[in-house]
Amino acid sequence: MAVDIKLNVMVDIQRLLDALEDALADKFELDGVGPRSDDEEQRDVDAAKEEASVRVDLIRTRIMYTATKHLKG
Amino acid sequence: MTLDVPSRLKAMTREPDERLWSISIDDVDLSVRTLNALKNCGVRTLYDAQVSLINRQLHKQRGIGRKAVNEVKEIIAYAKATLPPPPEVVRHNRRLQLNSLLLAYETHVLALYTYQRGEVSVDSDIDLGASIIKRKASIEKVRKLILAYADGE
C-alpha cells in the first residue's frame, strides 16, 4: 500500500473509531431512557433508539470496509 | 445467487481446488500402480485427479479400484492441508479477526460509560477509579490493534 493511501486509511479509521465511540455513547444514553407515558414521546424515543442502533452498525460496516479494502489477499 | 461465507466454504470443498494445478502426480507419494493408472487416464496433476473425482470419472477408469481412489483422495487432502489457505479463507479469517476487535472495542467503551456513570451496584467490590483507568487502557490497546490490522500487520 502506498504511504499516502496508508496514511489516509489510518486517519479515516481513527475518525471512524471516534465516531463509533460517540454513537455508542448516544446508544448507551438512549438505552437508559425508561418508558414514557406520552405516546408521541415514546415514539420519538423508540425512533431515536433505532437511529442510534443503525448508526452504530453503519459505522461498524464502514470501519470493516475501510480497514480491509486495501489489504491484499 | 449469493451464498453466505460458510455455505461458500462448504461449496468450495466440492469444487476443484485451483491451487492443485501446480502439483504434478509425479511429485507426490503415490503407489506405482495408481500413478500408472492415473497417467493412462490422462491425469497429469492433482487438479486433474480432483476434477475426475468430483465428476466421478475416476471411479469408472480401468485399473482404478476403491483402494486407488482412496489413495488419491488422501494425497489430495494432504496436499490441500499443506498448501497456503485459499484467498477466500484468508479474507474471511481477516474479517472475523477485525470483527472480534471491534466487538472488544465496543465492550470496553460501554463498560467505561457504565463505570463513568457510577452504574455499578453499591455492594460491588469494584474500585471505580481503577476500573476506569483499566478500561481506558484497554480501549487504547484495541484501537492500536485495529490500526495495526488496517496497516496490514
Instruction: Specify the pLDDT at position B60.
Output: 80
Q: Which residues contact B41 (CB under 8 A, 6 or more apart)?
A: B52, B57, B58, B61, B64
Copy the grid coordinates of residue B44.
497429469
Three-class secondary structure of residue B137 per DSSP? helix
Alpha-carbon span B53 to B71, nearest angstrom:
12
Task: Provide the phi-psi class of B42: left if phi over 0, else alpha when psi is between -120 and 50, else beta.
Answer: left
Model confidence pLDDT, tens digit, residues A36-71: 888 999 999 999 999 999 999 999 999 999 988 876
**Could you read off the pLDDT of B32-73 as tens digits, one per residue?**
999 998 898 889 999 999 988 888 877 787 778 889 889 999
DSSP H helices in chain B: 5-12, 32-40, 46-54, 66-82, 87-116, 128-150
Residues of A within an 8 Å Cβ radius of B: 1, 6, 9-10, 13-14, 17, 20-21, 24-25, 28, 56, 60, 63-64, 66-68, 70-73
Q: What is the pLDDT of residues B65-124, one digit of tens each?
A: 889 889 999 999 999 888 888 778 888 888 899 999 999 999 999 999 988 887 766 666
Least Cα distance to A9 among A55, A65, A54 occurs for: A65
CB-CB under 8 Å, A60 with B87: no
**Residue B1 pLDDT exceeds 50:** no
- Cβ pair A73:B149 closer than 8 A: no
Question: What ipTM was assigned to the predicted interfaces of this complex?
Answer: 0.83
Q: Please report where in the chains the cell 489489504 appears, as a residue.
A: A71
Of all helices (H) and strands (E), which one includes residue A46? Answer: helix A39-68
Interval B139-150 mean pLDDT: 92
| pLDDT of B16 | 82
What are the chain B neighbours of A21 within 8 Å (beta carbons)?
109
B6-35 per-position pLDDT tens digit = 665 555 556 788 888 889 999 999 999 999
Cβ atoms within 10 Å of B81's Cβ, excluding its own:
8
Question: What 3-state class would DSSP assign to A71?
Answer: coil
* B122/B99 Cα distance (integer angstroms): 34
Rounded Cα distance, B118 and B49, in Å? 65
pLDDT of residue A49: 93
Threshold 0.90, pTM exceeds: no
Decide if A25 and B146 are in contact by the 8 Å CB cutoff.
Answer: no
How big is the CA angle at B5 (ends B4 and B8), to the nearest 5 degrees?
Answer: 90
Using an 8 Å CB-CB cutoff, list chain A residues near B105: 17, 20
Provide the shortest C-alpha distance from residue B81 to chain A (in Å).
18
Chain A CB contacts of B135 below 8 Å: none
pLDDT digits 0-9 by tens, A26-36: 999 998 888 88
pLDDT of residue A20 exceeding 90: yes
Q: Please compute the mean of the pLDDT values over residues B126-132 and round it to a whole number.
A: 84
Q: What is the pLDDT of residue B128?
A: 82
pLDDT at residue B2 in the model: 53
